[in-house]
Structure 1
Amino acid sequence: MSARAAFLLLWGLALGRVTEEAVLIDTRANLWAEAESLLKPGAIVTLTCQSVLRTQEFQLFKDGVPQEPVRLDSPAFEHRFLLEAVINDTRGLYRCRYSTDGGWMGLSNLVELTGTEPLPPPLLSTETVSWITMGLNTTLLCLGGLRGVTFLLRREGDDQFLEVAEAPKAMQATFSVHRAGNYSCSYRIHAAGALSEPSATVTIEELARLPPPTLTLERESSEVLRPGSPATLTCVAPLSGVDFQLRRGEEVLQVLMSSTSPDRIFFHLDKLALGDSHVYTCRYRLHGELMPWSLDSAPAELVLSDGTLPAPELSAEPAVLSPKPGTLVQLQCWAPRTGVRFALVRENAGRRLVHSLLSPAGTKAHFELHDVSVVDSANYSCIYTDTAPPFAGSAPSARVELRVDGS
């Protein structure tokens, strides 16, 4: 039997993730094989199970079947399971777990002990984004199932490019990349050892400008707003630690901002006026006054109405307001004059949420609800607003009740 028994790792990274509400910490165990245990034919293969919390009890799973738990004399963060040389009885899929006062924690990542050559491929992924641009340090993470190996990164079509990283106490290596291309990584157990199969290819693009962020309205800001109301817009970038900017048309706005994580910002608009009924965009840039701004986000629009203009009329086609699921429903809104902005409004739990917006040339706006289902059941109305000062808005039309049968 060859000394280089092969392992395949199907990996679930244990990362803390910051959200708007809480910090989520993965408490699952980590499992890996020690590369040094594979250097001698017939050697004992070591699988190490590492816990996040101190524990006295570890358990190994083979092919989904739990093995006898191991009870330690004192609490520890890891336990080493010793397996005989890679033979038919030890080949298989391995996971591990550990216990706390609350019971057994979730299963670890998956390690496959195959006993075959060549060594199976590692996993290559981007740590942040899959593109490079001026001022951005893009990194690739090569992850294997063995600790104590040497990782190698290659660029497709470039025989001169080779990055090498030693990982004596880790199962992964991080590489910085500064050129676009297709990258793959591999590993070897020792200097004279054969390379593993290469990882799947990861493509890194070079962008002239940072890609756009995403701009959304907070739920209460999606309503038809009255003058004096506040509004909150959320801008989310594809990477963390950037500067943000909010614009109304081409005007850069200086407004109160807050944040719950480094990849997003909340823009707080206070005491809106009728003229604030407008299209907004956001963008971001890497830190530095001379760094270029990203592409603009898709627009988000605030709708304000003081209700002083005459109400429009709303009708539905087909006239039967209990259409079959999957059909097309058209809602037509008439205003007494041209040159206005129409809004179709859906009532939901006491809120008047803006469903869609149109600016037709005439006095009629045609709103379409495609492939309706039970979730489209609601009361609908419409309003219109001036697109020039004094930016007055109409009272709402009479409601049209739409009911679609379904579960």
Structure 2
Amino acid sequence: MSILGAFLMLWGLSLGPATEGAIVFETRPNLWAEAESLLEPWANLTLTCRARLMTPDFELFKDGVTQELVLLDLPAMEHQFPLGAVTSDTRGLYRCRSGLNSGWTQLSNLLEVTGAESLPPPLLSTEPVSWITPGLKMKLLCHGGFRGVTFLLRREGDDQFLGVAEAPKDAEATFSVHQPGNYSCSYRTHEAGAPSQPSATVTVEELEAPLPPTLSFQGESAGVLPRGASATLLCVAPLSGVEFQLRRGEEELRGPRSSTSPDRIFFHLNAAALGNGGLYTCRYRLRGEQTWSSDSAPAELLLSDETLPAPELSAHPATPHPAPGTLVQLRCRAPRAGLRFALVREGAERRVHRVLSPAGTEATFELRDVSVVDSANYSCVYVDTAPPFEGSAPSAPLELRVDGETPPRPRLRPLSRGAVVPGRDAVLRCESQVPSVVPTVIFELLRADEEEPSTQLWTSHPSADLVLTYVGPQHAGNYSCRYRSWSPKPFVSELSDPVELQVAGS
């Protein structure tokens, strides 16, 4: 068994694919520069790559290309790469990686070596969130390239540095923040030295209450259940280590709950807790504090005992084979008014497309710009929102089949102009016409004549920013993107028109 495997088993962690709520162990190494003398930081420089676990394998990259590959006789936690005096040959953007089982970790943080009198900027980030509220201790983390420097924090509008922190054994410093504003940080190598270029600005907001969490049922905002069933709602907060509460209206619902990570909780509702269904919200508060966050957007659970007559579901235009790109209306008609309607897409998992409360006896659900992805069997139900809260049986299924074998092709475009500087990231946006019935889509970026994606991203949005990390000359070429999904119906789009990625100097 590998060292990492034994370590993860000891802590009950896993090397398997990341899933919602899974605990992820950080394996990415850290890279920093150590100067023989901070009075002359570029005169004799050494780069240190520190791994998260013992390993004999280290690799150093410059401008996206391997510079040195090291295979040690014995495992170590770190390895040093001497650069000496910085010259035109050693200036550039560096990253490293360390061995992991029979492969490699992700690339480390980016380290810029300029050799110039003006020091490169550090990176400023927020922990755990980018806002402050009463009782929340918010911090700014300033990460520089050199070890042992002094870090300086400035707030826009202030003449003096807000904070000064020495880091004799580290390459980063943490500042506590109690006021809103626009912040940046820099560093200096010695007392008489000029500060580095400032980091990018980070905005800290002041809120009356913490930002709301999200609440969902099987990844959706609504669900239809038979009366007497149980359900599980997932509440996810934007920060960890908080106290959660589930509510229906103003009533707090208590009962069994579980968690897989400190930023989320599963509420397990039995039939009694569900009652007659309705709108549920969740909120959270910092431990030891009285102020609750804003409520989440509601998740709605409709309970139907199927005692009322089934509604009638019809399509307009009245054809089971609508043309791609058209608007299709699915109309659900009930015997009387004052009811709550839900359109359900049938399949391995029955998913609620939308819930409506029309004034009359008919609810109209719209499917815009339909494509092959909308092909499915649909049904609808309705429930009474007044006692005794009865519900209907589902309508007869309505089959919808849209002509075509693939959904519309996406559009790919770069988010920056011109050639990419070696060592920087290239971001290309893939834009699709993803229908609302698809809960999650995978966007893939493919290089010409290659079958495996260069990068991919899971999202529920109709577009995705696909990042090629740490671009080198080998990344130059033509790229296209596509999107795919396995639920509720498997599909894969055609490739977009190609876009040429140019890398400076290649």
Moved more, 109-118 or 182-191: 109-118
Aligned position for 1:358? 356
TM value normalised by structure 1: 0.89
Secondary structure of the residue aligned to 1:375 is: helix
| Alpha-carbon distance in structure 1 between the residues aligned to 2:19 and 2:309 | 45
8 Å CA contact 2:216–2:222 kept in 1: the answer is no
Query: Aligned pair in 2 of structure 1 residues 42, 293: CA closer, same or farther (>3 Å)?
Result: closer
1:27 and 2:59 are equivalent in the alignment: no
How is 1:319-358 mapped onto 2 (pairs within 5 angstroms)?
Answer: 319-349=318-348, 351-358=349-356
Aligned position for 2:184? 184
1:394 and 2:396 are equivalent in the alignment: no
Aligned position for 1:376? 374
Aligned position for 1:404? 402
Query: Aligned pair in 2 of structure 1 residues 331, 80: CA closer, same or farther (>3 Å)?
Result: same
Deviation at 1:188, TM superposition (A): 0.4
Secondary structure of the residue aligned to 1:194 is: coil
| Alpha-carbon distance in structure 1 between the residues aligned to 2:299 and 2:386 | 19
8 Å CA contact 2:41–2:189 kept in 1: the answer is no
Aligned position for 2:236? 236
* Bigger relative contact order (CA 8 A; separation at least 6): 1
| Alpha-carbon distance in structure 1 between the residues aligned to 2:277 and 2:44 | 71
How is 1:148-227 mapped onto 2 (pairs within 5 angstroms)?
Answer: 148-160=148-160, 162-218=162-218, 223-227=223-227
| Alpha-carbon distance in structure 2 between the residues aligned to 1:184 and 1:145 | 16
8 Å CA contact 2:46–2:81 kept in 1: the answer is yes
Moved more, 43-52 or 235-244: 43-52
Moved more, 90-99 or 118-127: 90-99
Moved more, 219-228 or 125-134: 219-228
1:291 and 2:290 are equivalent in the alignment: yes
Query: Alignment identity in percent?
Result: 70
| Alpha-carbon distance in structure 2 between the residues aligned to 1:264 and 1:205 | 23
| Alpha-carbon distance in structure 2 between the residues aligned to 1:33 and 1:176 | 25
Gaps of 5+ in 2: 1-14, 407-506
Aligned position for 1:318? 317
Aligned position for 2:473? none
Query: Aligned pair in 2 of structure 1 residues 283, 153: CA closer, same or farther (>3 Å)?
Result: same
Query: What do the CA deviations read for 1:155-209 (whole angstroms, capped 9, x no partner)?
Result: 1112255201111111111111001111110000111111001111111111112
8 Å CA contact 2:32–2:145 kept in 1: the answer is yes
How is 1:64-75 mapped onto 2 (pairs within 5 angstroms)?
Answer: 64-75=64-75
Secondary structure of the residue aligned to 2:373 is: helix
Query: Aligned pair in 2 of structure 1 residues 342, 71: CA closer, same or farther (>3 Å)?
Result: closer
AA aligned opposite 2:312: E
8 Å CA contact 2:58–2:71 kept in 1: the answer is yes
8 Å CA contact 2:244–2:285 kept in 1: the answer is yes
| Alpha-carbon distance in structure 2 between the residues aligned to 1:367 and 1:22 | 36
Deviation at 1:223, TM superposition (A): 4.5
8 Å CA contact 1:221–1:232 kept in 2: the answer is no
| Alpha-carbon distance in structure 2 between the residues aligned to 1:117 and 1:405 | 64
AA aligned opposite 1:403: R
| Alpha-carbon distance in structure 2 between the residues aligned to 1:344 and 1:41 | 66
Query: Aligned pair in 2 of structure 1 residues 143, 19: CA closer, same or farther (>3 Å)?
Result: farther
Query: Aligned pair in 2 of structure 1 residues 270, 322: CA closer, same or farther (>3 Å)?
Result: same
Aligned position for 1:10? none
1:111 and 2:125 are equivalent in the alignment: no
Aligned position for 1:247? 247
Aligned position for 2:6? none
8 Å CA contact 1:228–1:273 kept in 2: the answer is no
Query: Aligned pair in 2 of structure 1 residues 103, 247: CA closer, same or farther (>3 Å)?
Result: closer
8 Å CA contact 2:221–2:298 kept in 1: the answer is no
Query: What do the CA deviations read for 1:81-138 (whole angstroms, capped 9, x no partner)?
Result: 2222112222223233344661444433332221113111111111111111110001
Query: Aligned pair in 2 of structure 1 residues 97, 37: CA closer, same or farther (>3 Å)?
Result: farther
| Alpha-carbon distance in structure 2 between the residues aligned to 1:184 and 1:131 | 15
TM value normalised by structure 2: 0.72
Aligned length: 390
| Alpha-carbon distance in structure 1 between the residues aligned to 2:258 and 2:273 | 22
Gaps of 5+ in 1: 1-15
8 Å CA contact 1:229–1:272 kept in 2: the answer is no
Deviation at 1:234, TM superposition (A): 0.8
